[in-house]
Amino acid sequence: MWRLVRQSLALLMSLVSLGAMGREVVPVVDYTNIPVSTASGKPLTAEQVRDVIVSAAQSNKWEIARRPGQDLLTATLEVRGKHTVVVTIPYSAAKFSIRYESSTNMKYSVRDKSMVVSSNPMIANGRGVPTAADGIPVIHPAYNLWVHDLLQAIQGELKKL
């Protein structure tokens, strides 16, 4: 009888530890060549686009660094002093992109394509998912939410112009 109790307890502990491991990883979503679109239809300069990106990012708690001599920004978001994500944002007067650069405590890895299974048709069909030569970059799902929020903030600021 004690043996059965110990086995049941071991099984319960295993299930609890699996739950504590957190959410499953998802493919990293990069936003590439997003058109710069203002409500007025007025064209902007690259410097104006940069200023909009900086303003939107800072209002959403992203820290921005400019790379001298390049139309490229680096945005860093630190969450609860535990998680950090870094994206690069190349921009021009006509378009901008938001691309994964690095992260800390976000479960980032590159998985073999056969190991990533998704019911999302965009992912299942391989569209819109950045792939590395040796697989698919994956990360904690919060990353994609934070980056999507950044994208929406930038587009929202552009629509005010």
User: pLDDT tens digits, residue range 37-89?
Assistant: 999 999 999 999 999 999 999 999 999 999 888 999 999 999 999 999 999 99
pLDDT for 133:
57
Partnered with residue 26 across adjacent β-strands are 139
Tell me the DSSP string of 99-158: EEEEEESS--EEE-GGG---S-HHHHTTTT---BTTBEEEE-HHHHHHHHHHHHHHHHHH
Q: Does residue 22 or residue 67 have the better pLDDT?
A: 67
Q: What is the DSSP letter of 71?
A: S
pLDDT of residue 114: 60
Average pLDDT over all residues of the chain: 82
Q: What angle do CA 124, 130, 131 make, to 5 degrees?
A: 85
Is residue 156's pLDDT more than 80?
yes
Which three-class secondary structure state does DSSP give residue 13? helix
pLDDT class of 15 with cuts at 50, 70, 90:
very low
pLDDT higher at 68 or 156: 156
pTM for the full predicted model: 0.75
> 123 or 154: whose pLDDT is higher?
154
Domains, the chain, with CATH or none = 29-105+141-159 (3.30.310.80)
Task: Answer whether 89's CB lies under 8 Å from 66's CB.
Answer: no
Whether 156 contacts 148, CB under 8 Å: no
